[in-house]
Structure 1
């Protein structure tokens, strides 16, 4: 029996606990890194649209009207709408803006028009370099015209 006690190596026991000190050190270092780098991160500015923000419309506005048959018409200020094709739309809008790229262009579409037709119109204007393109919204919640 004495041979067995010497074989065990005395009264040493294995410790079955996890040493938390290195884990805590790593977490504190990460916390300090994030605290230092957080103010340096710049957030992107998103200019969200808002309905009814302005009480009056600008003086010079170009309206692009998409009819129920997806035919385009252009109206400058409060004049008469003139028919225009999609290929000539960008040139006609730039002519109506009279050299001022900041003149807003408002797209009005019939509610029966496919969304794709409105998107094509917007894409055509934006690819031509028209800066301010917006959608007309109907004021009020009634479903009547």
Structure 2
């Protein structure tokens, strides 16, 4: 009976937490998020301004503005000249302007009553013309 008491006296409970399973789970989740994060950021690169943001101060006087009115007509405004134009002609004019001034800012104005597809069609046409970045024009609240 004395021997059984010695065995019990040598066996102590371990009060440490084994964190290895938690580290394994964390690494698996990290790998999953690293794989899925690039899939979530697909789409067109567009700089969207906040509706109640302060106006951007333009250092350059020349700005190319492409617009869509509520009836779906496209307009191009280069230095104050504004005239209705077809989407194919707009694309060729923008290419011509970008060949002369590749750093000109390009802005898109869309009527709030025009369909979303019309604005996207305009942006795709601008992308086809070689415009790297497009800014969207909004009215302050």
TM-score (ref. length: structure 1): 0.60
- Where do 4+ consecutive residues of structure 1 move more than 4 Å? none
**Cross-structure match for 2:125:** 124
* Distance apart, 1:135 and its partner CA: 1.2
Distance 2:59 2:80 in 1: 12
Instruction: Pick from 54, 60, 63 the counterpart of residue 61 of structure 1.
Output: 63
Unpaired runs of 5+ residues, structure 1, are 31-47
Distance 2:8 2:128 in 1: 76
Distance 1:65 1:130 in 2: 15
Structure with larger Rg = 1
TM-score (ref. length: structure 2): 0.61
**Cross-structure match for 2:8:** 13
The structure that is helix-richer by fraction is: 2
- Between 1 and 2, higher relative CO (CA 8 Å, sep ≥ 6) is seen in 2
Unpaired runs of 5+ residues, structure 2, are 24-46
**Cross-structure match for 2:75:** 73
- C-alpha change, 1:134 and 1:16, in structure 2 (3 Å) is same
Q: How many residues align?
A: 111
* Distance apart, 1:72 and its partner CA: 0.7
